[in-house]
Structure 1
Amino acid sequence: MRQIHKIFPLPEEAADSTATDEPRTPTVGSGFFVTQDIVLTSHQVVDGADSIRVRHGGETIVATVLSSDPRNGIALLALDETARLSTIIPFLFGNVGEAVEGSQTVFCGFISPTSSRLSVDEGIIKSLAGPNDDLTRFTISASIGPYATGGPLLDANNRVIGIAMPTDTTGVSPTQTAIRADLLASLLRVSDIRLSEPPETEDEPLDVALSAQMARSAVVLVEAK
């Protein structure tokens, strides 16, 4: 049985030990495969959940929280060990240090909790910092809906450089934020997970159609109750 790790706990988590009988409000978001049986998603989507299911390619798979990082808002999910998904091609991770303002990006996530349709949105990195000069985030010009939280932000080589995070806004905003993918390193270390090293490639023109094709294999809908 895998052990659940939680790193960088928030102060209020340690202080609040009072049990509550209030039912948890179900949450839905996106995520993506980093290995054949590990999914990365948003901590906010799965925090406090008793039941987590991942939907991919018409299949629904039971998952559990393997590791979580509340401070940076990310979590790793382990799929049921009986699941065998032959169509999975996990995303590789890019060099976040090469990202600059104006870099082309593609964001992938789900648009509805009841739909199998992915949203693939082309944009740019508008800033290397988030609100209040938060250097853990990028500001991007891509519309990210609430069910797309936890989806991947890809560079022009279709490698992950960020993870979509919720942004507090009123109405619809074309500007959103993404957690820098290099912050995943500590979470992977405590989970003893090694990612495949990407091969050396030359930068190529952004191919959104190829990004969408890859996303259909690697991006999942995460349902938590």
Structure 2
Amino acid sequence: MSHGVGPDRSGSSVPSASVDGPGAAPSYHWPFGEAATPPPPRRPRGTGIGGVVAVATVTALLVGGGAGFGAARLAAGGSASATSDPARSTDPAPAPLPPGETTSTVEVARRVLPGTVMIEVGSGSGTGTGSGFVIDRQGHVMTNNHVVAGASKGSRIRVVFSDGRRTTASLVGRSPSYDLAVIKVKADDQLRPLELGDSRSAAVGAPVVAVGSPLGLPGTVTQGIVSALERPVTVNESGSADAPTAYIDGIQTDAPINPGNSGGPLVDAGARVIGVNSAILTLSSGQGQTGNIGIGFAIPVNQAKTIGELLVKDGRATYPVVGAQLQEGTDGVELTSVEAGGAARKAGLKVGDLISSVDGRRVETREELVVMVRTHRPGDRVTFGYTRGSSRAEAELTLGGRVG
């Protein structure tokens, strides 16, 4: 549950469905650059589901053959044919729209493309590509951790703007537990920070636009709707609630998202960022389709904003922990161990207790419990509903914290 319980380690595989295992919430698996296809989700929404996968891509793996050659050239040269005219405009950034106001998809693209970038990590045949977006005029760019994780081991980061400009970037900080990272390019007057919205305003059925560099094609815009909210998505699952696996209270969308879209913005009809595109659900191998099938997930921007501020300030972020190990029981999530001095122990919880709700919201899986805890910050108070033997009760926990 990477939710504040077990040892601090970066897991490598998540629930199922490339996101979670059979019966688990969606999850991802990320070695940067590979579109992994984990096991099927714990609660299948249909048949033949392969899993949720991170949507960064390694150009060498996914761009090949005749069509790939063209895509590789566009990515390398920033050709005008790879982006729309609005993206190449040198006009001043449009003024933000009043809260709640919407505009056309063409206008949304005009506002968002100049602030969205393609990110290349590595060099030569090992170059991986993802997306990101400018968040301030100091040159900070937000993206996914799995896009730039290789930079922590010395790989070079290069940023390609929608008008074809290219520059190097440095890694400011990253959080594997939230799958978020911030990189920095040199500040200049051509930077076009995107307006950050409020992910709490997202509504099922509302139109959204995803922007990024799928398959190495920069400046790509796709449209869809918010198809679900509060969807538990996990990347790199482990049995510990405190492990730095990414647990996301995802915004689900049917806007086409493919490998290379990772880290790009999901924006509302007012061109305001409401999420960071991070993963897709794919069909199982052998069914012929490994790209977008109409189910993608984004990290809510409110959470991304909080973590981004920590990364800019300190180069690292913290996540909440409860100090317990978890496993799924028949009527809730069972505590299999409780750490001395941890939040669960201090609240009076014991091994064998079955957690059935967090702040009144029912939980049935480890992933759900962890995701709900992760929507809070260390030091916050949360209420766990639980069963001990034949008795039901509630316990108020003050969440601990770890760096990750």
TM bucket by the smaller chain?
0.5 to 0.7
* TM-score scaled by length of structure 1: 0.68
Where do residues 156-195 of structure 1 align in structure 2 (5 Å cutoff)? 156-170=269-283, 171=289, 172-184=292-304, 185-192=306-313
- Is residue 182 of structure 2 the alignment partner of residue 76 of structure 1? yes
Which residue of structure 2 lines up, in the alignment, with residue 139 of structure 1?
252
CA RMSD of aligned residues (A): 2.5
Q: Which amino acid aligns with 1:129?
A: E
Gap change, CA 1:53 and 1:10, over 3 Å in 2: farther
Deviation at 1:146, TM superposition (A): 0.5
The list of structure 1 runs, each at least 4 consecutive aligned residues, that deviate by more than 2 angstroms after superposition, is: 129-135
Partner of 1:106: 209
Aligned equivalents of 2:276 and 2:10: distance in 1?
24
Secondary structure of residue in 2 paired with 1:44? helix
Q: Is the 8 A contact 2:281 2:293 kept in 1?
A: no
Q: Relative to structure 1, is the Cα distance of residues 107 and 38 closer, same or farther in structure 2, using a 3 angstrom cutoff?
A: same
Note if contact 1:44-1:73 (Cα within 8 Å) is conserved in structure 2: yes
Which residues of structure 2 form unaligned runs of 5+?
A: 12-121, 235-246, 284-288, 315-404
Distance 1:132 1:151, change over 3 A: closer
Corresponding position: 1:40 with 2:38: no
Give the TM-score, by structure 2 length.
Answer: 0.39
Share of identical aligned residues, percent? 27
**Unpaired runs of 5+ in structure 1?**
1-7, 14-23, 194-225
With over 3 angstroms needed to count, the CA separation of the structure-2 counterparts of 1:178 and 1:110, relative to structure 1, is same
| 1-structure distance, mates of 2:141, 2:263 | 10
Q: 1:92 to 1:146 in 2, by over 3 A?
A: same
Residues 44, 10 of structure 1: alpha-carbon distance in 2 compared, 3 angstrom cutoff: farther
8 Å Cα contact 1:128-1:135 kept in structure 2: no
Pick the structure with greater CA Rg.
Answer: 2
Asked if 1:54 corresponds to 2:159, the answer is yes
Deviation string, structure 1 residues 168-196 (Cα, Å, up to 9, x no partner): 51324111111111112133134239xxx
User: Number of matched residues?
Assistant: 171
Counterparts of 2:177 and 2:194, CA distance in 1: 24
More relative contact order, 1 or 2 (CA 8 Å, 6+ apart): 1
- Preserved CA contact (<8 Å) 1:136 1:183: no
